[in-house]
Amino acid sequence: MFEMGKVYTREEIHAAVGGNKHSYLPRKKGKVVAACLRPDLNPDAPNVILCNACPPERAAGEQLAGQGGTIPVFVKESTSSWKYQGLFRVVGTDTHPDVCAPFAANSAWTRGQIKRVIRLEKQIKF
């Protein structure tokens, strides 16, 4: 579906997996189908996703944390280019403010804006 290290547009990602072209966790039929992460908001991407308090994004983070399986992860390189990082699965999540707050230090988020931290692990194909 996607080629490791190749750059895609949001339109190309959307055409392949569906979901909202503007959400960092686009969903289709109730499942998160990809992660499109900006380095300023997710400095530890692709291994950590920071979720804010915005209701749709909070719901998408909650969905991803519990859905299982893998999703393709992309990190933004420029205005219209997103570099494919591979397939990742959730290996941990936390919503406690004391756990979430330190992740704000290197991001554009404030301590109070981060409501969930999702840790990912890259899946190796054999």
- Other beta carbons within 10 Å of 2: 19
What confidence tens digit (pLDDT) does each residue in 18-28 have?
999 999 999 99
**Mode of pairing for the β-strands spanning 31-32 and 27-28:** antiparallel
Q: Whole-angstrom Cα distance, residue 61 to residue 57?
A: 6
**Quick one: pLDDT at residue 126?**
53
**Mode of pairing for the β-strands spanning 48-51 and 81-94:** unpaired
Phi and psi at 120, nearest 5°, equal: -115, 155
For residues 42 and 16, the answer to whether their CB atoms sit within 8 Å is no
| pTM (2 d.p.) | 0.94
Which of the four pLDDT bands, split at 50, 70 and 90, describes residue 124?
A: confident
Tell me the average pLDDT of the chain.
94
What confidence tens digit (pLDDT) does each residue in 36-93 have?
999 999 999 999 999 998 899 899 999 999 999 999 999 999 989 999 999 999 999 9
